[in-house]
Structure 1
Amino acid sequence: MTNFIPIFPLSVVVFPEEHLNLHIFEPRYTQLIREIAATQKPFGIPVVVDNQLQEWGALVYLEEIVRVDESGAMDIRTRGGDLFRILEVIREIPEKLYSGAIVNYPENDRNGNPEIMQQLVKQMRSLHDYLEIKKTFKKEDHLLTAYDIAHHSGLTIQEEYELLQLTQERQRQEYLRRHFEKIVPVLEKMDQLKQKIKMNGHFRPLSGFDIK
């Protein structure tokens, strides 16, 4: 299926079902949000990486306009929807300040491996413990998906965009598994280095080497 959607390109990856708060201040996008509020239709957020518009993005649904100031700028709450892929960008739309795109919607398999997901959540928690941060989710851990933890796993925007293009949950799980395989040993070495630095200046009970 293909159709036309208004687009709001951003240097951010929006995953399906993700809740995203935005501050809208450019006239072209305040116009867009006002129209979206009136029609109750979604708009698209395609990803911008290194100042280049990418093909993939996610539909976004407006859930609430929280505040509008005197200049027309607004704070909004949104929720991510289906993935899309841009077929053609429509840069100029009559009587509109914003652009649009012709898109299609790739099939997206959400069925993952629960055991692998459990391990991924555990590795994410280990990362958070090392960084001394606390992240709570609105779901129980056993209900979390790759989309739920992707933003909290230390991925770059390029890596998040690569994950966005994977249309099977097991592929996304494998991507995160490989990511944690790379990052966890680095964190362990950093932790050892941190402990070593902490020991400098302390009286340490070291045994002398026995020369034979």
Structure 2
Amino acid sequence: MVARSHPPLIEVPLFPLPAVLFPAGKLQLRIFEPRYIDLVRECTRYGTGFGVCLILQGQETGAPAVPAAIGTMAHIHDFNTDESGLLGIMATGGRRFRVARSRARSDGLLRGEVEIWPDEPTVEVPVEFALLQSILERLIETMAPHWRDAPRAAYEDASWLGLRLAELLPLDVAEQQGMLELTDPLLRLAELRDILPRFQKA
């Protein structure tokens, strides 16, 4: 019997946040702590990304927070400086990962050995989820203009549709984390469909 091989672990800096980043999602951050300035410097110098994980315990600043085990890689694509001189970055979500081990440096920056998850399979949206496509179109029109030029084919991709709904619907962060951790795009759509009546009553 051949032993099943596991994907190799890679080491990445981790940035715990009180929010969930989804694959292809957009992230804007203001950087002021020295440990995170070092993180940005490392990523730009080597062309690498950093891992974003939801904070389970603790806070974004101060002592190292306890991050969720499942997160999303973030890749910086733009910088800016605000009126107060703080560094701002804009990043895009990449692949998801699972943290196998993590450690805190002396300055509090977390580093994790992570297993990168493969992309979800491309699955066509079944007809019973057509309502979700219409809802996403309305959400994008009012809340996410950067997605207005998304091709029609994207709305037919169950993974893309579910991830965009999970980031735009008013879910709490625990629910968003649950959606991130799902690996079946049709199950994600089914769970989102079952949640919808909660918002329609408002």
Is TM more than 0.5 here? Answer: yes
Return the match for 1:63 from 68, 71, 77.
77
How many equivalent residue pairs? 179
Gaps of 5+ in 2: 1-6, 59-65
CA drift at 1:125: 5.6
Structure 1's 172 and 30: CA in aligned 2 closer, same or farther, altered over 3 A?
A: same
CA drift at 1:121: 2.6
Structure 1's 35 and 107: CA in aligned 2 closer, same or farther, altered over 3 A?
A: closer
8 Å CA contact 2:99, 2:112 repeated in 1: yes
8 Å CA contact 1:90, 1:100 repeated in 2: yes
Q: In 1, Cα distance between the equivalents of 2:118 and 2:179?
A: 15
Aligned partner letter, 2:76: L
CA drift at 1:118: 3.2
CA drift at 1:109: 2.0
2:72 aligned with 1:54, yes or no?
Answer: no
Let me know the Cα RMSD of the aligned residues.
2.6
Q: Say which is worse superposed, 104-113 or 157-166, in terms of deviation.
A: 104-113
Partner of 1:6: 13
Q: Say which is worse superposed, 51-60 or 34-43, in terms of deviation.
A: 51-60
CA drift at 1:68: 7.2
CA drift at 1:174: 1.5
Return the match for 1:30 from 32, 37, 40.
37
Return the match for 1:104 from 115, 122, 130.
115
Q: TM-score, normalised by structure 2?
A: 0.77
State the identity as a percent: 21
SS in 2 for 1:109: coil
Matches within 5 A, 1:67-78: 67=81, 73-78=86-91
Partner of 2:131: 119
SS in 2 for 1:47: strand
Q: In 2, Cα distance between the equivalents of 1:105 and 1:179?
A: 29
Aligned partner letter, 2:175: E
Residues 19-70 of structure 1, C-alpha deviation per residue, up to 9 Å, x if partnerless? Answer: 2111111110011101111110111011113534211100111112223788
8 Å CA contact 1:63, 1:77 repeated in 2: yes
Q: In 2, Cα distance between the equivalents of 1:40 and 1:100?
A: 17
CA drift at 1:110: 3.6
Matches within 5 A, 1:1-212: 1=7, 2-49=9-56, 51=58, 52-67=66-81, 73-92=86-105, 98-114=109-125, 115-124=127-136, 133=142, 135-136=144-145, 137=147, 138-140=149-151, 142-144=153-155, 145=160, 146-184=162-200, 186-187=201-202
8 Å CA contact 1:8, 1:45 repeated in 2: yes
8 Å CA contact 2:51, 2:72 repeated in 1: yes
Structure 1's 110 and 173: CA in aligned 2 closer, same or farther, altered over 3 A?
A: farther
CA drift at 1:124: 4.5
Aligned partner letter, 1:157: V
CA drift at 1:172: 1.6
